[in-house]
Amino acid sequence: MNPKKEIERRSPETVMRLKRLGSLHQCRLSFMRILTRRMAAEHWEFSCPVFDIDSNGVGRAVYTAKGPNRSYSLVAFAHDLPPEKRSDRVIAEAWDATFTLFDGIPSAEDLDRLERNVPLQEAGRLQESELSLSRANRSVRLWRHVVEALASGKQPDAEQIDAVGYLMRTTAVYGSGKFGAADRETIAARDEFDVPFQVEMLSVYLIRTFVRDLVQHIAKTLGGEATATLDPSLARRLGIGNSTGLGMAPFIINHPVLFNNWMIVREEAIARVRAVETATQAEVDLFRDIFERSAQSISVWKSEHPAQLQKLSELRADVEALKIYIAAQDLHGDYPWDRLCTWSLTELSEEGQELVSSLILEPYPNLVDDLARCMSDSNSEAFRIDGSMPVAEVRELLTTSFGWARDLDWDKTENCARAWYVSEEKLEPRMGERFEEPISDYEQPLAPARDAATAINVLEQWPAQSVIADFLLRHPEHRHTIRRAQMSRVAPYGEIRDNTISDHILPIDMLRAKLSFFGATHFDPRSDRWVRICMYAGAPYPDELNSENADHWVYPMVSS
């Protein structure tokens, strides 16, 4: 008998490249799917105790989600926004709708207080009873079409729904203590918030329900009794759009342990499934079904951005190659998923390889889903620098993550062309041209590779056995770099193995990496530094959610 095959996780050198991170796809471990699975498994109950919106679409509504131990309420305010004020920029000052997720069930006084603050967004104040703050704008085109169709007693056109994908798009969903809201630390011990970003994912899930109800309400004020009720199958195709700008890109650099946990958990899941020696008929059938549905989703993925168009055309070719492989190959024996992954390395683009890596997880909830509990960061000890570590060891840690960066000529303009900074005007992160704008003095620490290369050079002048505490006393400018180096002991996937200030950096790669873990699909970059996505398209609404439909909704049903 053959000995069982050892399958190791893919190495950080392979995985933590920007091009690959910018090719990630959602999977079983995505935060939206984890939430919908949990809510279905625990039989969460949903209600709408307040829906007080006038015929102009102005007013307030409350949607309450009741879990086994606690309730959470989305408090929504609908506004009458003049078209010229509708902007997706994070710096906008007015929106079609504004939201907060309230911890519990708000009283009338709470709602009055929130009405004075939530519509102001960043200019308002929240309290510890609030968990998130967000806002959304309508897709003017689709909103009008859906309202007019329903009001005239007809269903909206499915093609138009699919062309846009959402009736509203959020332009920010803040959590974790922003603008006075509760810190993550105060709720992290709750089971339902153990996995990262569950507050934000719950907020958006309830926002989607509110938006469906709001469009129906507005249609009815126009169409009266003759108004059609939006067909549930059409409603389900609607997601919530999201515009994500540059501000989110620094997150994955600023949270190396957290990001490591997401990446290492996915890599562990992939390795576990690749180590499956034989697949049952049911597992193979499920994989084939999900693959077909995924191919359908990819076929309607639209973008006008040249880089994404190129990637999409490669991905579509990958899907065709996969169809041939899957039809021809026996997927039952001889480590079928490992064979598929190995084949993908030479035959598919990185988009295709990452699609395969995500899809093979689908038949194996028993191998994969428990890993979700390892995705948050509760390791506060990792922050403390171990000053007793010898210089030689620190150098080795830095070289492991950034050896490649030493060989780069950091004096060359193209290797340090960009600088990340925060603008005085709106306090939002930006990326500028170091040699064309006066921004160097304001640079944020978002170039770990350059900083590591510099630190390695200085450390080489120090005796190998002296302790790093002495080095840091003389060189406090390297403190953040030494901390990251030591963090890499517990976070081997915490560092991006690429230059984040080069003249060809694409911040959208960082955005996609993060958003793929949210579970986003249909990434549509609108420039090199912001991206539109769709969330929850295909998901069951609260009144439809059950254990049958809580998981695979992200893959559209293929009509036979």
Partner 1 sequence: MSFSLNEVEATAKKATRGAGYHWGLAEEAGKAVRWLCAHGVDGCGALAEALGKFDGASLSNITPATNSSEWYATGRTLCPLMTGTALSDRVDAIQNSPIRASRVAAPNLLLFFAANMAAHCKSVVTLEWPGGFAVTNGSDLCINGRPAGSFASVVRVLCGGTLGAPVSTSTRAEPAATVWKTLNTFAHRTYAPATEESRLKGAGAGTTDRD
Question: Restricting to residues 334-363, which ones interact with partner 1 according to CB under 8 A?
Answer: none
Identify the residue among 6, 8, 407, 424 touching partner 1 (CB under 8 A): 424
Residues whose CB falls within 8 Å of the CB of residue 60, separated by 6 or more in sequence, listed in order? 50, 52, 53, 75, 76, 77, 78, 111, 115
Distance CA 152, CA 44 (A): 35
Judged by CB under 8 A, which of 41, 309, 427, 464 binds partner 1? Answer: 427
Positions in 496-535 near partner 1 (CB under 8 A)? 526-530
Smallest gap from residue 529 Cβ to partner 1 (A) = 4
When the beta carbons of 153 and 445 are compared against partner 1, the nearer one is 445
**Cβ at position 541, least distance to partner 1 in Å:** 23
Task: Decide: 398 and 452 in contact? Cβ < 8 Å.
Answer: yes
Closest to partner 1 by CB, 33 vs 169, is: 169
Among 17, 66, 79, 125, binds partner 1 (CB under 8 A): 125
Residues numbered 274-313 forming contacts with partner 1, rule: CB under 8 A: none
Piece of the chain touching partner 1 by CB under 8 A; list 62-70, 84-92, 306-314, 513-521? 84-92
Could you tell me which residues come within 8 angstroms of residue 237 by beta carbon, excluding any fewer than 6 positions away? 158, 161, 162, 165, 537, 538, 556
Count of residues interacting with partner 1 (CB under 8 A) = 73
Length, in residues, of the chain: 560
Subset of 89-108 contacting partner 1 (CB under 8 A) = 89-91
Q: What is the DSSP letter of 441?
A: G
Binding mask 144-183 for partner 1 (x = CB under 8 A): --------------------x----x------xxxxxxxx
Applying CB under 8 A, does 47 fall inside the site for partner 1? no
Q: Measured from the CB atom, is 57 or 241 closer to partner 1?
A: 241
Q: Does 430 bind partner 1 (CB under 8 A)?
A: yes
Angle at 30 between CA 29 and CA 31, to 5 degrees: 115
86 vs 288 by CB, closer to partner 1: 86
Kindly indicate which of the ranges 108-116, 217-225, 326-334, 417-425 contains the residues binding partner 1, using the contact rule CB under 8 A. 417-425
Instruction: Report the b/e string of 394-427 with b at 16+ CB within 10 A.
Output: bbebbbebbeebbebebeeeebbbbbbbbeeeee
Give me 248's structure tokens: 């989110």
Of the listed pieces 60-68, 222-230, 302-310, 477-485, which binds partner 1 according to CB under 8 A?
477-485
Among 421, 517, 523, 555, binds partner 1 (CB under 8 A): 421
CA gap 337, 360 in Å, rounded: 7
Nearer to partner 1, 386 or 544 (CB): 386
Does an H or E element contain 35, and which? helix 31-41
Which position among 439, 505, 537, 554 is part of the footprint of partner 1 (CB under 8 A)?
439
Among 384, 411, 559, 560, binds partner 1 (CB under 8 A): 384
Cβ(74)–Cβ(63) under 8 Å?
yes
Whether the CB-CB separation of 430 and 441 falls below 8 Å is answered with: no
Edge-to-edge strands of the sheet including 59-66?
45-53, 59-66, 71-78, 97-103, 130-138, 166-174, 239-244, 531-535, 521-525
Contacts of 313 (CB under 8 A, 6+ apart): none
- Residue 37 to residue 554: CA distance in whole angstroms: 12
Residue 245 touches partner 1, criterion: CB under 8 A: yes
Site string (255-274) toward partner 1, x via CB under 8 A? --------------------
Should residue 438 be labelled a site residue for partner 1 when binding is judged by CB under 8 A?
yes
Told to check if 232 binds partner 1 by CB under 8 A, we report no
